[in-house]
Amino acid sequence: MSETAETVTPSEAPSPEAPKAFDPTLLARMTGELGDAASLERICSEITAAYIEFLPDIFHSETGYKIEIRFSSLKTGLKEELLAGLGETVALCDASLRGWCPEFTMACGSAFVMTLVEAMLGAPPEMIEPPSERLLSKIELDLTDMIFAKVANVLRTSVATGGNFEPVIGNPYNAGDRPKPPEGYRDPNAVLISFIINLGKTESLIHLAVPQRNFLKTKVTTTKSAAAGRAKKEWTEQIKEQVQRSQVSVEARINLQQQTLGVISKLQVGDVIPFEDMGDVKVQVNANGKELYFGEFGRSGARYTVRVTDTYSTESDLLEHLIG
């Protein structure tokens, strides 16, 4: 009996195997967006050395306060995920430095910011109890701009950029207010370098998040003279100027004549409640929920006004009252 060859129809023919997807990690390494551990650690150690040497000098020369910097950690991952891992009680600031990196992010623990603000208002740093990390107020964020300028200045004087370029620094914001990336955004592989920073009794952290494609090309070339800072007086004046430019909501409260609950519950549109004071009407003025001044209610042309008659305390106390 002869064997009959089996006929295979085109529909039954085995389909060719689908091409295997290229390993994304290998692709990132080949395109320079992901580095090996040895390279990342080498550059990290050079940048850390620059911060340990120069940042305390900059702070001391410009503020008169001594800080200490120590290395904390080096982490790798996607940039947005690394920043999200810092929590919501850090302040963030996006920046760029031409010739080095078009987009990196700095972060600072809120405890350090609060301690520095309190010290600038007159309290000796060694007497300030370490505050609990929290969201920063608008005025504290305004002052944080000064801190990030110094953190970025260390990079400006420490990494080769091919020119004398200044960092471009965005407005600081609380981490919880970080905008979501636009649609189609490709989160880059990044490094997150964290430093421990000490001021008085307070220990906090500052961070640098840099895409690896830029970080891997970093050449650290620091000079002592390049790290020289401005004078303490100039920095203090900048702090004062920054506070004075900050916008605050001001409200005035006037006490009305006491009424019974029965009367209050029956008030209708058009009913009138007299002021408590006879003659000059006393007013309490507050800003950001903090009581600041006593005043008198009056009128100037078509506008009602408040004339300040007394303050709660001194100018420095008022600033501390507002910032806190």
- Could you read off the pLDDT of 176-198 as tens digits, one per residue? 999 998 888 888 999 999 999 99
Classify residue 323 as exposed, middle or buried by CB count within 10 Å of its CB (0-12, 13-18, 19+): buried
In degrees rounded to 5, what are phi and psi of residue 76? -125, 155
Split at pLDDT 50, 70, 90, the class of 163 is: confident
Which pLDDT does position 201 carry in this prediction? 95
d(CA 98, CA 51): 20
Split at pLDDT 50, 70, 90, the class of 293 is: confident
5 pLDDT more than 60: no
Mean pLDDT value of segment 36-57:
91
Q: In angstroms, what is the C-alpha Rg of the chain?
A: 30
Which pLDDT does position 221 carry in this prediction? 86
Q: What is the pTM of this model?
A: 0.66
Neighbours of 124 (CB within 10 A): 10
Q: Name the average pLDDT for the chain.
A: 82
CATH architecture assigned to 250-323 = Roll (2.30)
Place of tokens 């006393």: 282
Mean pLDDT value of segment 63-78:
91
Neighbours of 114 (CB within 10 A): 24
Split at pLDDT 50, 70, 90, the class of 80 is: very high
Which pLDDT does position 153 carry in this prediction? 92
10 pLDDT more than 80: no
Q: Is the dihedral of CA 239, 226, 98, 192 positive or negative?
A: negative
d(CA 265, CA 14): 85
Which pLDDT does position 44 carry in this prediction? 92
- Could you read off the pLDDT of 202-246 as tens digits, one per residue? 999 999 999 999 999 999 986 444 434 443 444 455 555 655 555
Q: Could you state, in order of their start, the residue ranges of all structural domains in the chain?
A: 24-245, 250-323
34 in Cβ contact with 28 (< 8 Å): yes
85 pLDDT more than 90: yes
Indicate the class that CATH gives domain 24-245.
alpha beta
d(CA 231, CA 244): 20
Domains 24-245 and 250-323 share a fold: no
Strand partners, 256: 275
C-alpha distances out from residue 237 to 4, 63, 120, 230, Å: 100, 11, 11, 12
Which pLDDT does position 23 carry in this prediction? 52
More confident position, 89 or 253? 89
- Pick from 48-52, 119-123, 226-230 the range whose average pLDDT is largest: 48-52
More confident position, 281 or 201? 201
59 in Cβ contact with 67 (< 8 Å): yes
